[in-house]
Amino acid sequence: MEFNIKKICCIGAGYVGGPTMAVIAEKCPEIEINVVDINKEKIDNWNNSDLTKLPVFEPGLKEIIKRTRGINLFFSTEVEKNISKADVIFLSVNTPTKTSGIGAGKALDLKWIEASARQVAKFSKGNTIVVEKSTLPVKTAESIKKILESSHYGENKNEFFVISNPEFLAEGSAISDLLNPDRILIGGDNEEAIDALAGIYSKWVNPKKIIRTNLWSSELSKLTANAFLAQRISSINSISALCEVTGANIREVALAIGMDKRIGDKFLNSGPGFGGSCFQKDILNLVYLCNFYNLKEVAEYWEKVIQINSWQQKRISKIIVEKLFGTLTNKKIGILGFSFKANTNDTRESPAIKICLDLIEEGANISIYDPKVSSNQISNDLDSIMTNKSKDKFGSWQIGLSVSQVSQNADAIVVITEWDEFRNINWKSIAIEMRKPCWVFDCRNIVDKKEAKSNGINVWEIGC
Ligand code: NAD
Ligand code: UGA
């Protein structure tokens, strides 16, 4: 069957759907792309004429949106209409960990995927390629096919071609990852449908980088890639603790091992543990799948990666309490960075959330500054957890508007996110504002230790 792709509909206007469709729109001006979402506020923000209000902050995104929006890229809540006119539909909805029922705490919650597949089954017309862009458990394509085929009763005899095309972009570098991907993975069982999708990417990606596999390899490769990346971070973080007690330096160790080509030098930065919406949920899902297929040892192996990650976050909170004479009651602590990594406004699973809550629980009054995360978001992240406990026992949190503001009268500053702004802090003027004795806890190894120390600040660095 020949496919002539003129219209794409992407269901889900989030961190993946928005930037991915923006790049396809830029590279394929002949294709009309409609990104739909049930969240009206998000769609309104995607359509906002003030580009600083886009719901996703990514370097380079607003420039592409400026060039494509209203030309061949459209954001709307009209799900039905846009599904019905699309030749290709990307499913790019959220797939978080289930919070209740069978598999709670491990399996992915597929209710949004199922709901969108049902909408596709109901409203699509003509032969349609359905692309799994969301990260999904192995064999989900089978369920999607069944849902789609259930629409074959009555008049509707259109055919569906389900393809797995997982996304590998990282937040903070989404646009450059999309423009210059390491590979594009397309899994499926219909050659023509795969060719049609590959044809879109080949507008800007070298065809040698476009890999074709069966559906199940594609679905599993995405989970495995995230598990391997997260494992690297847990590995280096586990060694950071050993460095601290032996006098070794984690940066020197990372440099030495990373020069071995078989190991490679990327993704070896020790830190406060990995955050983000995907690593933990995808490994938990891998663990769930392994248990489902009775591979207990494999499940336990991957579970350890998450355990080390939680341990690393707790370890940092404990060190802070210990260094500040065992109590944080009525002490002010400045927090630098709340997003889970630099260059994004995303706070999902950010290590900052757990570290801040630990410090508040110890009685500290914390003041948080992040260049891109809104105060509403910080409030959602912290207050939703705090309300479940008795607030009276705890310290407090407030927003700071600058590095200088969070440092005023602070006993300590904790650098949690590696924003560039925190690499060049003038420690001389910050030291004057802090209460003595004062500390900087550098969870990212970015502080100019020499300068901070020479201005009378005690410095703790991860892995040193
Ligand atoms: P997100 O929460 O930012 O966006 C998902 C969007 O889907 C939300 O805006 C939600 O309102 C919308 N949605 C849900 N059900 C819908 C429906 N029935 N109809 C219309 N809209 C609906 O999520 P995300 O970060 O973009 O992640 C999406 C998927 O991509 C996940 O499976 C994730 O694992 C995967 N992924 C994410 C990243 C990343 O960096 N965030 C990278 C690679 C893969
Ligand atoms: C990750 C993967 O890198 C992407 O390939 C994948 O598509 C995505 O998950 C996904 O499936 O959602 P992301 O979570 O956006 O991307 O960002 P990463 O750069 O991978 O960082 C994840 C976490 O690890 C962050 O908290 C970061 O600070 C931490 N990290 C990363 C380190 O602590 N050290 C490092 O060396 C690298």
Instruction: List pLDDT tens digits, range 402-436.
Output: 999 999 999 999 999 999 999 999 999 999 999 99
Q: Which residue has the tokens 């490769």?
A: 221
Mutate to test the pocket of ligand 1, among 10, 34, 37, 44 (most ligand atoms within 8 A of CB): 37
Angle between helices 296-323 and 215-246 (to 10 degrees): 40
In this prediction, residue 286 carries a pLDDT of 96
In this prediction, residue 394 carries a pLDDT of 84
Bond prior to 181 in cis (omega within 30° of 0): no
How far apart CA 289 and CA 147 sit, in angstroms, is 22
The region, left, alpha or beta by phi > 0 then psi within -120 to 50, assigned to residue 456 is left
How far apart CA 217 and CA 207 sit, in angstroms, is 19
> What's the mean pLDDT in 354-375?
96
pLDDT band at 385 (very low <50, low <70, confident <90, very high): confident
pLDDT band at 151 (very low <50, low <70, confident <90, very high): confident
Q: How far is the CA of 313 from the centre of ligand 2 (A)?
A: 16
Share of the chain above pLDDT 90, in %: 93
> What is the three-class DSSP state of 370?
coil
In this prediction, residue 384 carries a pLDDT of 78
Q: Which helix (H) or strand (E) holds 396?
A: strand 396-399
In this prediction, residue 2 carries a pLDDT of 83
Q: Which helix (H) or strand (E) holds 212?
A: strand 210-213
Question: Given a cut of 70, is residue 373 above it in pLDDT?
Answer: yes
Share of the chain above pLDDT 70, in %: 97
Q: Which helix (H) or strand (E) holds 414?
A: strand 412-415
How far apart CA 403 and CA 414 sit, in angstroms, is 11
pTM exceeds cut of 0.75 = yes
Structure tokens at 297: 């040892």
Question: Given a cut of 90, is residue 156 above it in pLDDT?
Answer: no
| Residue 278 annotated among the catalytic residues of the structure | yes
- Tell me how far the alpha carbon of residue 51 is from its chain's centroid: 21
Q: How far is the CA of 160 from the centre of ligand 1 (A)?
A: 22
Contacts of 437 (CB under 8 A, 6+ apart): 411, 458
How far apart CA 463 and CA 455 sit, in angstroms, is 22
Q: How far is the CA of 299 from the centre of ligand 2 (A)?
A: 21
Catalytically annotated residue among 10, 28, 243, 278: 278
Question: Given a cut of 60, is residue 154 above it in pLDDT?
Answer: no
Residue from 412, 324, 330 nearest 363 by CA = 330
b/e per residue, 36-62, with b = 16+ CB within 10 A? Answer: bbbeeebbebbeeeeeeebbbbbebbb
CA distances from 136 to 95, 220, 457 (A): 7, 8, 47
User: Is residue 25 in contact with ligand 1, taking CB distance under 6 Å?
Assistant: no
